[in-house]
């Protein structure tokens, strides 16, 4: 954080220190990694395959959890926008929520006395720990999502944070895949299961420490606490009547569904389908890398809307490739490469679309309401996590999947159920997202004119605020 100079002194450019940029990005990535492990495979695999919770009960856990999110997320977004404290609007939730967040994560992996073989005990443990974990995840992740707007006012300073966020986003994909490829135990491997439990709990503690201590390396500016915000109902209505936001939520829901379903299914796919792991992971990594380079190069030339349409189409083709040819190394390798291109689009382009949607809201209302938008986005997209988990489990079970069998022992029909449950629903949703984006309005000359006018308004606000607080405004 730059120091405010005394009146009459030479004004300084607003500057966010590298340590602050890294701290925000590392905390954001740590939160996302734990969420990815919980929502995208490891938790369901642990309770269903390793501890024996029935697939239908695990599906019910995720559906109940989805109902809770319908209340939890928009409510917190509204509360955080209106929070007033010496630490700011967001930092208190990150700092003091981190220990409870980690507690919820650790509770997943504890083998409570008498829980083995008890469907009721396993159901209650998974459900309660998930409620604790996700309530704090909402508070922390929402706060970190909008933190760049709280620590900086100038667009130039904010952009330096986003660069680091993109870099750290890679870990949210790599770490769960690395855990799946290294310490994932097989059914009946008691020593491996015990090690897995301890490693996961220790890993959660490390991520929690990063989140907690990150809050000592950045500080919010407090000017936004002084802005008058809408009441809850008016704020909610203003969001859902923003047409660009409604269409954005179609693709946002789909990407969360896809990330959950595909990351969860990977754990089961490599267990049951006889394909080599290495070329598929290499193809996935190559797709992510080349995808990011493509979107960085073509974003301004093609526009965010067209790039998003392209990546959803390629992502869908990857799903259908694995659905039809998932037992073949060539077909599955192509599918994983296109998965990577799709993941890269979700990481890079979706936040840009979100920023445009909030800009349109500011154009309509005159207020910046990132917290409320983040909360409603979670309200709509969090059920995608539950539905993706439930859909895969339900389809697998319908095709005769037997959770008691060791790896590689499922019937051909059950393997087919895995492929269908893993990729078909995701592929259809991606096609629907591609079609819905035809009506996405934030593109073309009219939108560019609005963005230009918003840029002028932002520039005037930045200039007034920065110079009033002793900073130099740079044209």
What would the pLDDT profile of 380-423 be if each residue is shown by its tens digit?
777 787 788 788 888 988 999 887 788 788 899 999 999 999 89
Q: What is the pLDDT of residue 408?
A: 80
- The domain in which residue 412 lies consists of 230-443
Specify which residues 12 forms β-bridges with: 471
| Angstrom distance (rounded) from CA 425 to CA 78 | 32
- Is the pTM here over 0.85, yes or no? no
| Angstrom distance (rounded) from CA 262 to CA 58 | 18
When pLDDT is cut at 50, 70 and 90, the band that residue 357 belongs to is confident
DSSP 74-100: HHHHHHHHT---TT-SSHHHHHHHHHH
Q: Are residues 214 and 327 in the same domain?
A: no
Q: Are residues 134 and 251 in the same domain?
A: no
Q: Are residues 213 and 250 in the same domain?
A: no
Q: Dihedral, CA atoms, 44, 49, 53, 54, nearest 10 degrees?
A: 100
Alpha-carbon Rg for the chain, nearest whole angstrom, is 23
Q: Work out the average pLDDT over 42-48.
A: 85
Share of the chain above pLDDT 90, in %: 33
Q: Dihedral, CA atoms, 4, 6, 7, 11, nearest 10 degrees?
A: -50
When pLDDT is cut at 50, 70 and 90, the band that residue 271 belongs to is confident
Burial bucket for residue 228 (CB in 10 Å: 0-12, 13-18, 19+): exposed
Structural domain count of the chain: 2
Q: What is the pLDDT of residue 157?
A: 72
| Angstrom distance (rounded) from CA 290 to CA 55 | 37
Q: Are residues 271 and 163 in the same domain?
A: no
- Residue 154 pLDDT greater than 80, yes or no: no
**Within-domain flag for 158:** yes
> Any residues with CB less than 8 A from the CB of 79 and at least 6 apart, and which?
none
- Residue 473 pLDDT greater than 70, yes or no: no
Q: Are residues 102 and 211 in the same domain?
A: yes
Q: Which of 211, 227, 243 is the last residue of a domain?
A: 227
| Angstrom distance (rounded) from CA 97 to CA 208 | 10
Q: Are residues 254 and 219 in the same domain?
A: no
| Angstrom distance (rounded) from CA 475 to CA 155 | 11
> Any residues with CB less than 8 A from the CB of 385 and at least 6 apart, and which?
39, 62, 65, 66, 256, 257, 260
When pLDDT is cut at 50, 70 and 90, the band that residue 140 belongs to is very high
Q: Work out the average pLDDT over 262-277.
A: 84
Q: Which of 227, 242, 267 is the last residue of a domain?
A: 227
**Within-domain flag for 8:** no
| Angstrom distance (rounded) from CA 23 to CA 25 | 6
DSSP 372-400: HHHHHHHHHHHHHHHHHHHHHHHHHHHTT
| Angstrom distance (rounded) from CA 32 to CA 173 | 9
| Angstrom distance (rounded) from CA 384 to CA 255 | 9
Q: What is the pLDDT of residue 243?
A: 87
Q: Are residues 335 and 420 in the same domain?
A: yes
Specify which residues 13 forms β-bridges with: 472
**Within-domain flag for 64:** yes
Q: Are residues 267 and 386 in the same domain?
A: yes
- Residue 4 pLDDT greater than 50, yes or no: no
Report CA-CA distances (Å) from 51 to 10, 48, 111.
65, 6, 9
The more confidently predicted of residues 8 and 80 is 80
**Within-domain flag for 451:** no
Q: What is the pLDDT of residue 139?
A: 87
- Residue 6 pLDDT greater than 90, yes or no: no
Taking only the tens place, the pLDDT of each residue in 169-222 is: 778 777 877 776 788 888 778 888 899 999 999 999 999 999 999 999 988 765
DSSP state of 242: -
Q: Work out the average pLDDT over 28-41.
A: 83
Contact 257, 110 (CB under 8 A): no
| Exposure of 104 in the CB half-sphere (CA atoms within 13 A) | 21
Q: Are residues 163 and 239 in the same domain?
A: no
> Any residues with CB less than 8 A from the CB of 344 and at least 6 apart, and which?
287, 288, 289, 290, 291, 292, 294, 295, 311
Taking only the tens place, the pLDDT of each residue in 76-131 is: 777 776 777 777 778 899 999 999 999 999 999 998 888 888 999 999 999 999 88
Q: Dihedral, CA atoms, 364, 369, 370, 375, nearest 10 degrees?
A: -110
| Angstrom distance (rounded) from CA 100 to CA 97 | 6
3-state secondary structure of 471: strand
Of the spans 1-10, 333-342, 359-368, which averages the highest pLDDT? 333-342
| Angstrom distance (rounded) from CA 136 to CA 312 | 31
- Residue 452 pLDDT greater than 80, yes or no: no
**Within-domain flag for 65:** yes
DSSP 264-305: HHHHHHHHHS---HHHHHHHHHHHHHHHHHHHHHHHHHH-HH
**Within-domain flag for 288:** yes
Contact 101, 129 (CB under 8 A): no
Specify which residues 472 forms β-bridges with: 13
Q: Are residues 160 and 255 in the same domain?
A: no
- Residue 68 pLDDT greater than 80, yes or no: no
Share of the chain above pLDDT 70, in %: 88
Pick the range with the lowest mean pLDDT from 11-15, 33-37, 85-89, 335-339: 11-15
Report the first-to-last Cα separation within the chain, whole angstroms. 20
- Residue 279 pLDDT greater than 80, yes or no: yes
- The pair of structure tokens assigned to 339 is 């998965």
DSSP state of 40: T
Taking only the tens place, the pLDDT of each residue in 285-316 is: 899 889 988 988 888 889 889 999 999 999 99
When pLDDT is cut at 50, 70 and 90, the band that residue 13 belongs to is low
| Angstrom distance (rounded) from CA 113 to CA 69 | 30
**Within-domain flag for 466:** no
Q: What is the pLDDT of residue 101?
A: 94
3-state secondary structure of 367: coil
Q: What is the pLDDT of residue 3?
A: 39
Q: Are residues 211 and 262 in the same domain?
A: no
Report CA-CA distances (Å) from 339 to 118, 166, 278, 342, 417.
38, 18, 15, 5, 20
The more confidently predicted of residues 262 and 330 is 330
User: How far is CA 36 from its chain centroid?
Assistant: 8
**Within-domain flag for 136:** yes
Q: Are residues 234 and 210 in the same domain?
A: no
Q: What is the pLDDT of residue 12?
A: 54
Q: Which of 227, 247, 270 is the last residue of a domain?
A: 227
The CATH number given to whatever domain includes residue 246 is 1.20.1250.20
When pLDDT is cut at 50, 70 and 90, the band that residue 251 belongs to is very high
Q: What is the pLDDT of residue 268?
A: 84
Q: What is the pLDDT of residue 228?
A: 60
């Amino acid at each position: 954080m730059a120091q405010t100079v005394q009146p009459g002194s030479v004004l300084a450019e607003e500057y966010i220190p590298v340590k602050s940029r890294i701290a925000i990005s590392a905390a954001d990535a740590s939160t996302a990694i734990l969420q990815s492990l919980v929502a995208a495979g490891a938790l369901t695999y642990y309770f269903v395959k390793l501890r024996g919770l029935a697939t239908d009960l695990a599906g019910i856990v995720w559906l109940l959890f989805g109902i809770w999110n319908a209340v939890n997320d928009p409510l917190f977004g509204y509360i955080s926008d209106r929070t007033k404290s010496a630490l700011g609007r967001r930092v208190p939730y990150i700092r003091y929520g981190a220990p409870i967040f980690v507690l919820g994560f650790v509770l997943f992996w504890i083998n409570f006395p008498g829980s083995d073989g008890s469907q009721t005990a396993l159901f209650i443990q998974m459900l309660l720990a998930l409620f604790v974990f996700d309530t704090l995840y909402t508070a922390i992740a929402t706060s970190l999502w909008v933190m760049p707007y709280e620590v900086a006012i100038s667009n130039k300073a904010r952009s330096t944070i986003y660069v680091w966020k993109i870099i750290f986003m890679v870990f949210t994909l790599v770490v769960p895949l690395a855990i799946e490829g290294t310490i994932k135990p097989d059914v009946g491997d008691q020593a491996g299961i015990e090690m897995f439990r301890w490693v996961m709990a220790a890993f959660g503690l490390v991520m929690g420490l990063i989140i907690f201590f990150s809050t000592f390396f950045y500080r919010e500016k407090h000017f936004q606490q002084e802005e008058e915000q809408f009441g809850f109902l008016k704020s909610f209505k203003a969001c859902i009547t923003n047409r660009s936001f409604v269409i954005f939520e179609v693709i946002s829901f789909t990407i969360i569904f896809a990330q959950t379903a595909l990351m969860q299914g990977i754990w089961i796919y490599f267990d049951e389908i006889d394909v080599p792991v290495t070329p598929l992971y290499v193809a996935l990594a190559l797709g992510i890398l080349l995808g990011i380079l493509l979107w960085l190069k073509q974003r301004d030339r093609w526009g965010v809307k067209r790039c998003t349409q392209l990546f959803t189409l390629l992502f869908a083709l990857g799903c259908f490739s694995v659905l039809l040819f998932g037992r073949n190394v060539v077909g599955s390798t192509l599918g994983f490469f296109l998965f990577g291109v799709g993941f890269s689009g979700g990481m890079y382009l979706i936040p840009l679309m979100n920023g445009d949607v909030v800009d349109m809201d500011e154009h309509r209302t005159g207020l910046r309401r990132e917290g409320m938008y983040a909360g409603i986005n979670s309200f709509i997209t969090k059920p995608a996590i539950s539905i993706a988990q439930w859909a895969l489990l339900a389809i697998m079970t319908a095709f005769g999947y037997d959770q008691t069998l060791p790896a590689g022992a499922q019937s051909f029909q059950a393997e087919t159920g895995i492929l269908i449950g893993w990729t078909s629903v995701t592929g259809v949703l991606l096609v629907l997202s591609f079609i819905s984006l035809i009506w996405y309005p934030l593109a073309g000359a009219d939108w560019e004119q609005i963005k230009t006018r918003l840029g002028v308004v932002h520039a005037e606000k930045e200039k007034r605020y920065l110079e009033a607080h002793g900073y130099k405004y740079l044209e």
